[in-house]
Amino acid sequence: MNNAFIGLGVAGNFAGHLEQAGEAVDFLQVKTVEAVQPKAIFPFYVPSEKLGEYQFLSTYPLSHSEIRFPNDADNLQIEPEIALICEIQYSHGKVTALLPTHFAAYNDCSIRRPNARKICEKKNWGEKSKGISENWLPLDHFNSGGVLDDFHIACFHKRNGVMNEYGIDSPAVGYSYFHQKLLDWIIDRMNNQPDEGPMNDIAALLEAANYPKQAIISIGATRYTNFGEHHFLQIGDTSIVAVYNAKRYTHSQIAEMAEKEQFKHDISALVQKVI
């Protein structure tokens, strides 16, 4: 993919994650219709020179192999997710459809910045601040019964040769919003999300980027294990996110592959060294 896509993330689409990540307080004023509804979408990459105070979002943040440690934070966490690679359709400047074509393992690496005004300020601190697997797996469709329904998200952390489970192995269908319900909600947020509280006006960013035809959308981070909740990344660590077909592989097989850092071709894996 060229860089003419917008990068968006979904906040609060896995029950309990925001509380563990210390972010629930950010969303106390955000009104939702359903208790399990995601809270907002946030930008992590916008290809535009017209972003004003958010110009930092124009720095391409994705890497397949490394995470660059931020200068001003020591509380960096892996956020294991699935990313959807989507085509965007518009009519009269409004998003009318999102068409997911592929999915991939994703690390929505985040800094805990208690004083950040916007979610996006925790998400893009420059090049190599996030991760997406090079291995994009094709989607047959994104409805119930599609191939993605069989996939799980696993996450591991290595330090000095010792590997630990960082995220709770979670089924993709465990997302609060999924399938067309998720896409419809994202489209609504792309068109109508206000610039208030922790949220950005996404419609204005789409316009500033000249209406990109594609999006990478990370659809929410899983819950942490006790280890993941209390351990932050350090230089020299390795972060591993694997999105795998749980009808084909057991979790222990995935853990063995993570130990070797070698995965089968039908697994979307993301192995990043913290530098």
CATH of the domain at 222: 3.90.850
Is 180 inside any structural domain?
yes
Residue 40 in any domain: the answer is yes
Distance between CA atoms of residues 135 and 202, nearest Å? 28
To which H or E segment does residue 40 belong? strand 40-45
| 244: in domain | no
Residue 261 has phi, psi (to 5 degrees) of 60, 35
Cβ–Cβ under 8 Å, residues 20 and 226: no
pLDDT recorded at residue 1: 59
Which has the closest alpha carbon to 219: 98, 61, 93, 55?
A: 98
Number of domains in the chain: 1
Which among 243, 224, 239, 252 has a CA at the least distance from the CA of 66? 239
- Tens-place pLDDT, residues 134-173: 999 999 999 999 999 999 999 999 999 999 999 999 999 9
Rounded average pLDDT per 10-residue block, the chain, 275 residues = 87 83 77 85 97 97 97 88 98 98 97 85 95 98 98 98 97 96 98 96 98 97 95 97 98 98 98 98
- Report the relative pairing of strands 214-218 and 5-11 from DSSP bridges: parallel
Strand partners, 98: 88
Residue count of the chain = 275
Domain range holding 60? 5-150+172-235
Query: Is 256 a domain residue?
Result: no
Q: What is the pLDDT at residue 2?
A: 65
Q: What is the pLDDT of residue 24?
A: 73
What is this structure's pTM? 0.95
22-29: long-range contacts at Cβ-Cβ below 8 A with a sequence spacing of 24 or more?
A: 22/112, 22/114, 23/119, 26/119, 26/197, 26/198, 27/197, 27/198, 29/197
Cα radius of gyration rounded to whole Å, the chain? 17
Q: Kindly state whether residue 250 falls inside one of the protein's structural domains.
A: no
H or E element at residue 91: strand 80-91
> Does residue 56 fall inside a structural domain?
yes
Answer yes or no: is 13 within a domain: yes
Q: Is residue 27 part of a domain?
A: yes
Query: Does residue 1 contact residue 217 with C-beta atoms inside 8 Å?
Result: no
